[in-house]
Amino acid sequence: MPVLDAGMLTDEVLEAVSVESRWRSSQRPTQETKACQTAAVHTAEAELQARSTTATGSQTEPQNQISEQCLLNHEDLDPEGLKNFLQQVEDTVIRQLVRNSRSHAFDGFQVNWKDPSNLVSCHHSLQHPGGVERNLHVTKVSWSCTGAVLACAYGRMDDGDWSTEPSHVCTWNLFSRKLKPKQADVVIDVPTAVTALCCHPRQASVIAGGLYSGRVVVWDTNQTDDPVLAQTGISADSHREPVCEVVWVPLQKKAAFGVLSACSGGKVLLWVLDAAQHVLVLNAAYALESQQIPQCQGLKARGCSSVGITSLALSPWDPDTFLVGSEGGLLLRCSFSSKIPSTAPSDGHSLTHRAPAVFSFRPGSGPVHSIHSSPFHWNLFVSAGTDGLAHLHSLLQSEPLFSLKVSDSYVFQVQWSPSRPLVFAAATSQGEVQVFDLGHRSLRPVATLEQGGGGGAATCLAFNAHNPQLLAVGRTDGTVGVWHLSTELTEQSPQEISQLEQIANQVAG
């Protein structure tokens, strides 16, 4: 074999020797490297799992030990004497729990978790610029039979010579997209103050009104040129004093209605519409005379011969019954079917006037401004007036069942809710409308409607029968507020009818 001199080595030879050397070096430690890597990986995974399990156990063991020790030594944690005290009162507590289980004191009770301020909210403030500019008062409000249109009458509630001052009847459709709160949809000009207003129960565009002059008028808002559909003439049969109330009365003829009107002169007149002649024809006449008022428990009628009527209401249960309030505080139940002739002078009347009063309730201390019969009980009605009280009456008793304090001043109108049997609202001369719920133990109002900015007295109000959550309130500043009532004030609660029945059956104290 030839011997190579170191100086004779080329780069290729050196590279071949280096490759062979690296190959031999990698072949020798192969088994040791594999064994070492396998053992290390296996050991590391096993130790990692063991440490995790141990750590979890170290966190839970101290807590479990403390809980078990507390359960074993619970007697040491009780206050001294607690066990003896519980043993002493055990019999007393059990007897009281048994008594509570048999009690009906809280039947139907529902907890009110809501803020009372959320019970009511004002959605609209309606006004007619002409009425506001001339400082006219809102005297009456009435909803149409559909519940969509609100009618408003303008006049004055204060004293003064304003019998010839012109006024207005305005309507707003609250569900119209074109609603303008400061511009009425329909404005009817009237030559004198409107003192009474009532929408027709079947025809949405027809409205009956009473005027300060004593005239009764029926308007049709669809007739834009001349909205007067019919009116009373100037005769001995007509009212000669301001009309305080007008209501629609169903007649014997099917689907026909007449207009019942009352005035401060003591007359109650029933009118039938003659659309062809554009007149209201007298159908029946009643006159209230103090000498013919039945006395109850020795009470005597007050004042002069004629009884000045200030309020009137129909019974929704008995078509023969209507209620009348007077200037002297008299409250009377009357009958349409009365045959007793009145002692009032005839004065050229075409019909004989009849004396309708059949029962007298206890007189109040001042004029009765408002009466309203319950729509949920044939026997109950509420009245209010200048004494600031709301009196709940039964038709079967002369004394009121009870009275609620509403205001320190006058109450102009009171009305039952059309959806809640125990709820009614009262409008006061102090500008507030108080809402009462007879289901509450407290006799205080459950909600108060206040018009901000000194809106003047609340002269009238009207619940919406088709939309019970809407309540309209008229004021002396010429505005009409449309308020939204919460479901708590509009949805009937369980056993509410039975509660009303219990109230009606109680005996006046």
Q: Is residue 21 in some structural domain?
A: no
Alpha-carbon gap, residue 166 to 189, rounded angstroms: 7
Instruction: Assess if residue 104 is contained within a domain.
Output: no
Give the pLDDT of residue 18.
Answer: 52
Give a yes or no: residue 37 inside a domain. Answer: no
Residue 69: inside a domain: no
Residue 297's pLDDT is what? 40
In-domain check, residue 16: no
Give Cα 402 distance to the centre of its chain. Answer: 22
Residue 289 has a pLDDT of 86
Task: Answer whether 398's CB lies under 8 Å from 293's CB.
Answer: no
Predicted local distance difference test score (pLDDT) of residue 296: 45
Buried b (16+ CB within 10 A) or exposed e, 434-449: bbbbbbeeeeebbbeb
Pairing of strands 149-155, 432-437: unpaired
pTM: 0.75
Residue 133 falls inside a structural domain: yes
Tally: H helices and E strands in the chain:
6, 28
In a domain, 43, yes or no: no
Q: Apex CA 280: angle with CA 276 and CA 286, to 5°?
A: 155
Residue 491 belongs to what domain range? Answer: 121-505
Domain count, the chain: 1
pLDDT of the residue at 17: 43
DSSP per-residue codes, 231-255: E--SSTTS-SS-EEEEEEEE-SSTT
CA angle 411, 328, 354 (to 5 degrees): 115
The residues facing 271 across adjacent strands are: 259, 282
pLDDT recorded at residue 118: 72
Look up the CATH number of the domain holding residue 211.
Answer: 2.130.10.10
H-state helical runs in 139-249: none
- Say if 111 falls within a structural domain: no
pLDDT per position in the chain (509 positions), as tens?
A: 444 444 444 455 445 445 455 545 445 444 444 444 445 545 544 444 444 445 454 454 455 554 455 445 555 556 667 888 888 899 999 989 998 888 877 665 555 544 444 788 999 999 999 988 999 999 999 999 999 999 999 998 775 555 678 999 999 999 999 999 999 999 999 999 999 999 999 999 999 999 999 999 999 999 988 999 999 988 888 999 999 999 999 998 777 899 999 999 899 999 999 878 889 999 999 999 888 887 644 444 444 467 899 999 999 999 999 999 999 899 999 999 999 998 877 777 888 999 999 999 998 888 999 999 999 999 999 999 999 999 999 999 999 999 999 999 999 999 999 999 999 999 999 999 999 999 887 889 999 998 765 668 999 999 999 999 999 999 999 999 999 999 999 999 888 999 999 999 987 65
Cβ-in-10-Å burial (0-12, 13-18, 19+) of 170 comes to buried
